[in-house]
């Protein structure tokens, strides 16, 4: 399995290729807010691990392994965003929260979170019931203080 840092790069490279059809070192550096030299080093590591093929000055292409991992990482990120939204986390915190937790969960945990998301998405009434519970709990906290 790739390291958390490798995952961040693979996720972003996959997204850039999906959005633009390509991913240049400069695009990756901008997206991840790192220096191009850092991107070049990581891309070389990913090349050695067979996640992509990198040719200096020519660009990079994800291998089938890299595409598979990249797609799964994007899925994980989007799933966690959906989950946090469903449970009522303020939009202002969701992206940073996902960035903070996504590398620390097992794929089994991700699959179970997927089940929970599906459970709520299948019947919108369940989300309303959750919001009712959250409002009751909010009022209980106010009354206790």
Contact predicate 26/62, CB 8 Å = no
Question: Does the annotation place 11 within a ligand binding site?
Answer: yes
Question: Does the annotation place 144 within a ligand binding site?
Answer: no
Question: Does the annotation place 47 within a ligand binding site?
Answer: no
Question: Does the annotation place 99 within a ligand binding site?
Answer: yes
How far, in Å, CA of 132 to CA of 35, rounded? 47
Question: Does the annotation place 19 within a ligand binding site?
Answer: no
DSSP code for 105: S
Question: Does the annotation place 55 within a ligand binding site?
Answer: no
Beta-carbon-side half-sphere exposure of residue 22 (alpha carbons within 13 Å)? 7
What is the separation of C-alpha 21 from the centre of its chain, rounded to a whole number of angstroms? Answer: 20
Instruction: Report in angstroms the alpha-carbon separations of 7 from 128, 129, 130, 136.
Output: 35, 36, 33, 39
Q: Count of CB atoms within 10 A of residue 72's CB?
A: 16
Q: Count of CB atoms within 10 A of residue 38's CB?
A: 15
Q: Binding site residues, as ranges?
A: 8, 11, 77, 99, 102-103
Q: Binding site residues for Mn(2+), as ranges?
A: 8, 11, 77, 99, 102-103
């Amino acid at each position: 399995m790739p390291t958390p840092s490798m995952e961040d790069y693979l996720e972003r490279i996959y997204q850039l290729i999906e959005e633009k059809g390509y991913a240049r070192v400069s695009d990756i550096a901008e997206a991840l807010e790192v220096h191009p030299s850092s991107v070049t080093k990581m891309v070389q590591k990913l090349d050695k691990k067979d996640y992509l093929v990198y040719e200096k000055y020519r660009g990079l292409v994800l291998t089938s392994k890299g595409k598979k991992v990249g797609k799964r990482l994007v899925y994980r990120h989007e799933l966690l965003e959906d989950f946090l939204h469903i449970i009522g986390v303020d939009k202002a915190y969701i992206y940073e929260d996902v960035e903070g937790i996504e590398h620390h969960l097992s794929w089994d945990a991700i699959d179970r979170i997927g089940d929970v998301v599906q459970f709520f998405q299948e019947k919108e009434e369940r989300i309303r019931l959750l919001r009712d519970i959250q409002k009751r709990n909010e009022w209980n906290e106010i009354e206790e203080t």
